[in-house]
Amino acid sequence: MPTPSRWLLIVLPVLLLAVWLGWRHWQGPEVSGYRLEMRPLVQRVVASGEVDSQSLAQVGSEITGVVKARHVREGDRVQAGDLLLELRDDEQQARLREAEAALQQLVSSQRPQAQAALREAQNNLAQATRERERRDELFQRQLISAEQREQARQVEISVRVARDRAQLAASAAASGGSDEQVLQQRLAAARAALERTQIRAQVDGVVQVRDVEPGDLVQPGSTLLQVARTDSREIIVPLDEKDLGPVAVGQPAVIIADAFPLETLAGEVSFIAPAIDTNRGTIDIHLDLQRPADFLRQGMTVSVDIRTGNRDQALVVPNDALFSRQGQEAEVLRWTADRQVERVPVQLGLRGTGLTEITEGLSAGDVVLADQAAEGKRIRVRIEPMLVGDRE
């Protein structure tokens, strides 16, 4: 039989194990928890969007014509005034030459002829006036009849009318006269028509779409090219409507293009669409870039981090420790000093992606549970580290 010392060696470990198991049972099961602390907190809304342009110029033709030459294609950068397309201009060139010839004919031929005709009419009038005065004098002396005097007066009137017509014609043909003005307007119209055969860029930008080739017949109203203005690049984010609440115009944002993950761009919320897209349940948020980014392309996908609020120091709790969350209210399970579970209502402040601010109900150093547990139950807590995220 075993000696008493042997029995002690066998029984003692069993007794110690039983005591330890009993003590552990008395302490309760082990659950995960967090010890609350003060730390910086950033409230953000994260979403995906795409590069767009506030101004997308639709380039077309003012006249019907056939494309003679195309000078740009998609992706080309253009400046205001650059030649984009040329139309055949045979008809416009002919009209321009006709208008130039008509103006030259006025200057070199019609104007001198009108001036010569005026001088001749003025001389004729002077001669007719002298003849009428001579016959008036003869009639007073009763040397001629009244009929002869009246004939001289009628001749003077006819010559005066001819002089007036010649004067009007000379005035019209003179430099700056109505004839020259009409021909100058016709010349300007011919030049304008010729200029319309050359389609030029109206804004600085990048060609986005090209729907024309040499030989195509184009008409007014058709879009031939689309040019995105260089200074109008923006980001459009179709945000889920449930995330709209904290977003406001003027909030800063960080933008990263999926194609260039190392390039971080600063942006700002510039516009919030007035209506929800009921088909998708989203609302468009527009962001302006703080500086130009030439590597961005129309339609490029980007990731957007909108900073909707921040605290230099806030009492925070991980989101998985919040239960029965409704609006700005929630409940937490706090581990009390006597190692029991206590359900505590709390008021919420800023909400980060992983952490939420507690404004009422808890204090720094409190321990809250990450798992569900019955209220009043004795437990053991394994303290887990809180997330490092939700900081600037």
Tell me, what's the pLDDT at 30? 81
Same domain flag for 245 and 341 = yes
Q: What is the pLDDT of residue 20?
A: 43
Question: d(Cα 182, Cα 347) in Å, to the nearest integer?
Answer: 82
Residues 360 and 316 in one domain: yes
CA 102 to chain CA centroid, Å, is 48
Percentage of the chain beyond pLDDT 90 is 43
Q: What percentage of the chain exceeds 70 in pLDDT?
A: 91
Q: Is the pLDDT score of 257 beyond 90?
A: yes
2 found inside a domain: no
Give the up-direction half-sphere exposure of residue 305: CA atoms within 13 A in the CB hemisphere: 14
Q: Which residue range is the domain that position 115 belongs to?
A: 90-194
User: pLDDT tens-digit profile of 85-137?
Assistant: 999 999 999 999 999 999 999 899 998 998 999 899 999 999 989 988 998 88
Give backbone dihedrals phi and psi of 97, rounded to 5 degrees, phi first. -65, -40
Q: What is the pLDDT of residue 215?
A: 93
Give the SS3 label for residue 123.
helix
Nearest to 373 by CA among 337, 340, 325: 340
Statement to judge: residues 377 and 281 lie in one domain:
yes
> Residue 350: pLDDT above 50?
yes
Average pLDDT over residues 35-57: 87
> What does the buried/exposed string (b/e) look like for 53-76 if buried means 16 or more CB atoms within 10 Å of the residue's CB?
beeebebbbeeebebeebebeeeb
Q: What is the pLDDT of residue 392?
A: 55
Residue 346 has φ and ψ, to the nearest 5°, of -135, 160
Average pLDDT of the segment spanning 171-183: 90
* 141 and 260 part of one domain: no
pLDDT score recorded for residue 164: 92
Q: Are 66 and 211 in a shared domain?
A: yes
Q: Answer yes or no: do 253 and 385 share one domain.
A: yes
What is the chain's mean pLDDT, rounded?
86
Are residues 39 and 108 located together in one domain of the fold? no
Residues 169 and 315 in one domain: no
3-state secondary structure of 186: helix
Instruction: Identify the weakest region by mean pLDDT among 95-104, 259-268, 333-342.
Output: 333-342
Pick the residue with more confidence: 13 or 297? Answer: 297
Domain count, the chain: 3
Q: What is the mean pLDDT of residues 232-236?
A: 85
Instruction: Count Cβ neighbours within 10 Å for each residue of 77-88 and write b for 16 or more, e otherwise.
Output: ebeeeeebbbbe
Model confidence band, residue 143 (pLDDT cutoffs 50, 70, 90): confident
Same domain, 385 and 287: yes
CA angle, 235 as apex, 233 and 237 as ends, to 5°?
Answer: 160
- Residue 279 belongs to some domain of the structure: yes
Q: What is the CATH number of the domain that holds 222?
A: 2.40.50.100
In this prediction, residue 23 carries a pLDDT of: 44
**When comparing pLDDT for 231 and 325, which is higher?**
325
- Statement: residue 388 has pLDDT above 60: no
Query: Do 78 and 220 belong to one domain?
Result: yes
Residues 131 and 167 in one domain: yes
pLDDT tens for each residue of 274-299: 999 999 999 999 999 988 888 888 88
- Rounded mean pLDDT, 62-66: 92
pTM of the complete model beyond 0.85:
no
